[in-house]
Amino acid sequence: MGRAWLAGIVLSTSTGIAEHTEASTLTENGDHSSAPKGKGAPSDISESSCNTDDTQTEGAEISKGESDVTAGGRSRPPRRVRRYGVIALFSLLVPLIALAGFVFVLSGKPFVLPDWMRSRVEVVLNAQMQNFDVAIETIAVMVEDDWDPSIQLRGVRILPPEGGGAVNVTQVDARLAFAPLLERQIAFREVLVAGVSLTALRLEDGSVRIALGPAVGGGALQTDTDITTLGDQLEEFLDVPVLAALNAFRVEDVTLRFEDLRERRAWTVDGGHISLRRDAERVDVSSQLTLLGGRSYASTIEASLTTYYGTRETEFGLNFEDLPSQDIASQGAALSWLEIIRAPISGALRGRIDEEGALGNVNATLQISDGVVQPGGEVQPIPFQGMRSYLTYSPERRAIRFDELFIDSDLMRVSAFGEAFLRDFRQGLPQEFLAQLTLNEFRANPRALEDDPVRLERSYADFRLRLDPFELDLGQMVVRQSENEIVLNGTLGTEGADWAYALNGHMDRVQADDVLAVWPNSFKPKPRKWVSENILGGTVRDVDLAVRSNGSDMPDVFLDFVFEDGRVRAVKTMPPIVNGSGFGVLQDHQLHIAVEEGYVQADQGGFLDVSGSSFVVLDTRIKKSPGLVRAQATGSTTAVMSLLDREPLKLFTKAKLPVDFAPGEAALEGTIDLILKDKLPVEEVVYDIRGTLSNVVSDHFLPGKVMRGDLTVHATPERVDVKGSGDLAGIPVQAHWHMFGGKENEGRSWLSGTAELSAAALETFDVGLPKGTVREQGLLTYDMEIVKDQPPKLTLTSDLKGVVLSAPPLGWRKGAQGTGLLAVEMTLGKRPSVDAITLEAAGLSATGRISIAEGGGLDVAELDSFRVGNWLQGQGQLRGRGLGVPPAIVVTGGRLDMRRMPKSTSSGTSSTDMGPLSAQMNEIIVTDGIRLAPAVAELTPQRGGLSGSFNGNLNGGPFVQGTLTPHQNGLRVQAQSEQGGKIAVAMGVVKSATKGRLSLDLVPRAADGEYDGTLTMRELKVQKVPLIAELLNAISVVGLIEQLSGPGLLFSEVFARFRITPERLIVGEASAVGPSMGISANGSYSFVQSWFDLQGTLSPLYAVNVLGRPVSRRGEGLIGFNYTLRGPSQDPEISVNPLSVLTPGFFREIFRRPPPDLSN
């Protein structure tokens, strides 16, 4: 291994010293006179200009021009190394040694030669060494116990020829073999040299030139060597007579300066030592050096070399501790890949030179503690905590076999073996490595996942590494774990202080449970955490990965994959998607998960089909990334509402509604924006969900009333809207349910829409109106407020267009084309109630409220006010009498004007169309002059109308009672009173009257407002009757006038038959008879003009005249006066025919017109 320069330095140091102990004759140009072992004579070495300052620190750079000694221009150094000069020196000293032995016998101490003798020795040496100038401070001789003499030289200084740098040797101790001295031969047994300076210059071809002294150049004591020739040179050095008995050679206190022209760097080593030992079979050389520099630690180097006699085989070794990686990498091909590492390295090298003199395999052991990967020294370092390697380098194959390559770091823990081929050699160092490694252990992020790191089974990697510039091309890396395999490729380089990398990966198939096993915890930890928590099972296939550097700490990562049979959860609080299939994409720091097919099992309602849904982590670089869910779901409405009622939405819990309140089928889509963190408050969730609800069936809002329809839904944090069309218990409706967001609206929602207004609709809503009230159909609008734990409030409104309304007992009807107002406010529940109702249409208005009986139907309808046209107004009640039974009508006040009352339309109705009527009226107006105030009636329906009794005060005065009975034209009125006189006064007929039993019968006619009537009254006493008084005055009946003005006239019977129309009163026949007089009348009275047109007969002394009754009209006697009454009611004109008194009985008809005919 050509870079094992330290061994070469140590061994060459020994070579240099030994060569300079041989005696030879130097020529002026320094050439050898002979070349031992056939070695060629080298050419001159030019003077070196290398920096030789002994204080230069390790790693100091030197320029290429610092030395003119190059690989191309070097020659072999002189092999004639002054051996004979040394021998001459010791021949001169033989007598001195003898003298020393004598002295030793006497004293046992070294004998120091005097100066004249030392000078003589220097003169002899300089003469023998020709161009070298040798100076010695002291020379001492002594004899050892075994009679081997020894010499000691101190302060030896040798000046090489041609002005080279001086060589200083502090101490030289040599022990000589005694026997050869007897034969005048010098043979060293042991040599110790101390305080030697050596210089080693590594040339650009990798060979080393070693010089004794601080410089390399012309005239220096130097030699060239490399690892392949070092053994031969050592044996050649020892193959001289003077060293034939040498057993040990030691050099201590060595100062070594090593300059590397190839790397342009220099190192200095102090305090080293070198030792050589030889036996009959081999030579062993070892050395130990300590390298100091500007580091916090010192590096130690131990080198060894063993060469065997009779063969060219040489073994060498090198042990080092805490040697900088760059220093190692620069010295040999086998370890040049360490250039990318910055760390102190400990280890060993072992190698051999074969019989052919070729370098054989080199074995190395490397052990690194803490360090970094930092090619070029500028890029951001990647730390590691440990590295070791056992490798073998084959120079022949230019290949490194890694028996183990172990790396331990925060990112990974790897153990691999394999082979690397070295390519593109420049100045002896490869620039490119083609490697094939097998990973038998791989743990991703082992320290962060102490309990469960990512472990991979045996994997493979093929890559190319270039050192300058640094480039790592990963051709293929096959990573395996269990049955999973991922194939990677990519590149790694540097751009200034940044790493530049591109990594691609592919997996055919992997189980979701195994994804994390091949996903390092430190790589995209946030997406990895999301995957670990939300991808719960299934198969992932066609996984593609791309990682690209971009100059920042966060690389650009692209990842896509397809999953099948997956269990995926988009939001932590939601149930997972099962049987899911789809794909995922990680790009631009966003993770997209798309579900092409999948299902979610809700807490209630079964499975939802969520095919087409997706989930996005919007920024994988931050811990609490925003997320976006694009949801699509089809299934039961209960399942959908169950999901929407999970945390954090809780939509229906807030609305205080069960999730199964509207069973049906749902199809929804929308978005949910949220923050991916635990305990997410609903205020931080933004959602927009739309969809349709089909075939919805619900009776939640109206228990017992089933609503069916198709709806749309739209939900946001501000409000939730569900609306659509359907039917409610068979009634077409348009519905809109909504609720508002915010805590203040929790438990509160609203339902509104339109519905058909018909008899069936009112029955559905339990309004409780009498049957037949509503026919045809219109449209009503409803609004309902729903509050948790409170019965819903319902408001109904309608313009009544298209609806036919009728109240047969009132003779009222609204046609379909008319409009009006219906407003109903209801409280729903098990027993609903109408809190307010208002009806205005076709001259009818009513306001009130309705309560519903238990079990349904009307309880009481309170009418605070009602008005029918201009003839009826008041207040009252409708009281329910059970389902299917018309309610009872109670009128508690009001006014009835029979003059304006329309003809009843109930003549054809049955008795079941109306319930009993109880009325307490403030006033009933029969005619302009007849009214009851107050009045009470108790009526029951019969076929054809109402029947019952009534009573009241006529014109606010006398009491009247009677009955009402059905008639084909309306109601027949029959009235009685014991206060007939007062009734007459109240009607304005007389000013004063008493007594009188009244009986009145009014029969309705076909025409509206017309009645045929019969009146009878008995025992009536009248006073102050102006018309009668004027009539009596006209016929000069003084006594009757006085009686009328005084105690009064008594009529025992009053009778009248008449007809009442809205315009007038027609009297067909009327009479009043008593003891004093009788009077008859017929004609008419105009209500419009207040005009009388009457005629009749006055019979005084009716008790006598009654004899003529058979031949005259009722109320007329035998003798009577005909009269006429015409004119306004305030001042009518009365005229009397005196001749009529002479005409008895029926002959009086000659003098008057026929009475009105009431037969038609």
Residues 751 and 714 in one domain: no
Measured CA to CA, the distance from residue 924 to residue 896 in angstroms comes to: 5
Both structure tokens of 144: 């050892």
Within-domain flag for 643: yes
User: For residue 1050, what pLDDT band results from cuts at 50, 70 and 90?
Assistant: confident
Say yes or no to pLDDT of 319 above 90. Answer: yes
Phi and psi angles of residue 1104, each rounded to the nearest 5 degrees, phi first? -85, -40
Q: What average pLDDT score do residues 394-416 get?
A: 90
The mean of the pLDDT values for the chain is: 78
Phi and psi angles of residue 1011, each rounded to the nearest 5 degrees, phi first? -135, 145
Both structure tokens of 739: 């609720």
Q: What average pLDDT score do residues 150-168 get?
A: 79
Measured CA to CA, the distance from residue 471 to residue 527 in angstroms comes to: 30
pLDDT, position 903: 58
Given 847, 865, 885, the domain boundary residue is: 885
Say yes or no to pLDDT of 21 above 80. Answer: no
Tell me the per-residue pLDDT of 353-398, one tens digit each, with 9 for 90 and over: 888 888 889 999 999 988 999 887 788 898 999 999 999 999 999 9
Measured CA to CA, the distance from residue 721 to residue 546 in angstroms comes to: 45
Between the alpha carbon of residue 375 and those of residues 293, 322, 340, 365, 505, the distances in Å are 21, 19, 4, 22, 25
Within-domain flag for 641: yes
Say yes or no to pLDDT of 22 above 60. Answer: no
Tell me the per-residue pLDDT of 1052-1095, one tens digit each, with 9 for 90 and over: 888 989 998 888 889 988 888 887 788 888 999 888 888 989 88
Question: Is residue 500 within 8 Å of 469, Cβ to Cβ?
Answer: no
pLDDT, position 213: 67
Q: Which residue has the higher pLDDT, 701 or 312?
A: 312
Say yes or no to pLDDT of 1099 above 70. Answer: yes
pLDDT, position 765: 64
Say yes or no to pLDDT of 422 above 90. Answer: yes
Within-domain flag for 341: no
pLDDT, position 225: 73
User: For residue 138, what pLDDT band results from cuts at 50, 70 and 90?
Assistant: very high
Other C-beta atoms within 10 Å of 847: how many? 17
Residues 590 and 509 in one domain: no
Tell me the per-residue pLDDT of 813-842, one tens digit each, with 9 for 90 and over: 889 899 999 898 888 777 778 899 998 998
Residues 716 and 619 in one domain: yes
User: For residue 168, what pLDDT band results from cuts at 50, 70 and 90?
Assistant: confident
Within-domain flag for 335: no
Residues 512 and 400 in one domain: yes
Residues 702 and 579 in one domain: yes
Residues 694 and 779 in one domain: no
Which range of residues forms the domain containing residue 786?
747-885
pLDDT, position 248: 92
Tell me the per-residue pLDDT of 472-529, one tens digit each, with 9 for 90 and over: 999 999 887 777 788 999 999 988 888 899 999 998 988 877 777 666 666 667 767 7
Residues 709 and 764 in one domain: no
Say yes or no to pLDDT of 863 above 70. Answer: yes
Say yes or no to pLDDT of 90 above 70. Answer: no
Residues 704 and 845 in one domain: no
Measured CA to CA, the distance from residue 137 to residue 126 in angstroms comes to: 15
Residues 1048 and 1139 in one domain: yes
For residue 114, the 8-state DSSP code is P
Tell me the per-residue pLDDT of 98-130, one tens digit each, with 9 for 90 and over: 555 555 544 457 888 888 888 887 887 777 566
Q: Which residue has the higher pLDDT, 979 or 401?
A: 401
Q: Which residue has the higher pLDDT, 154 or 1029?
A: 154
Are β-strands 248-260 and 188-202 bridged in parallel, bridged antiparallel, or unpaired? Answer: parallel
Say yes or no to pLDDT of 630 above 70. Answer: yes
Residues 981 and 1118 in one domain: yes
Question: Is residue 1115 within 8 Å of 1073, Cβ to Cβ?
Answer: yes
Within-domain flag for 477: yes
pLDDT, position 1044: 57
Q: What average pLDDT score do residues 885-911 get?
A: 69
Short-list 949, 945, 1009, CA closest to 973: 949
Q: What average pLDDT score do residues 763-771 get?
A: 67
Measured CA to CA, the distance from residue 677 to residue 1018 in angstroms comes to: 104
Residue given tokens 């007598």 in the structure block:
95
Range list of H helices, 194-285:
230-238
Tell me the per-residue pLDDT of 635-654, one tens digit each, with 9 for 90 and over: 888 888 888 788 777 777 77
Q: What average pLDDT score do residues 81-92 get?
A: 46
Question: Is residue 357 within 8 Å of 229, Cβ to Cβ?
Answer: yes
Say yes or no to pLDDT of 419 above 90. Answer: yes
Say yes or no to pLDDT of 1108 above 60. Answer: no
Within-domain flag for 699: yes
Tell me the per-residue pLDDT of 967-1020, one tens digit each, with 9 for 90 and over: 888 788 898 989 888 887 777 667 777 888 889 898 988 887 788 999 998 988
Q: Which residue has the higher pLDDT, 772 or 921?
A: 921
Q: Is 223 helix (H, G, I), strand (E, B) or coil?
A: strand
Tell me the per-residue pLDDT of 584-607, one tens digit each, with 9 for 90 and over: 898 888 888 898 998 988 888 888
Residues 573 and 508 in one domain: no
Q: What average pLDDT score do residues 277-284 get?
A: 90
Within-domain flag for 105: yes
User: For residue 284, what pLDDT band results from cuts at 50, 70 and 90?
Assistant: very high
pLDDT, position 28: 32
Within-domain flag for 611: yes
Phi/psi-derived region of residue 856, left when phi > 0, alpha when psi is between -120 and 50, beta in every other case:
left
Say yes or no to pLDDT of 446 above 80. Answer: no
Number of domains making up the chain: 5
Range list of H helices, 498-582:
512-515, 525-534
Residues 669 and 805 in one domain: no
User: For residue 1034, what pLDDT band results from cuts at 50, 70 and 90?
Assistant: low
- Answer whether 0.95 is exceeded by the pTM: no
Tell me the per-residue pLDDT of 551-572, one tens digit each, with 9 for 90 and over: 777 788 898 999 888 887 767 7
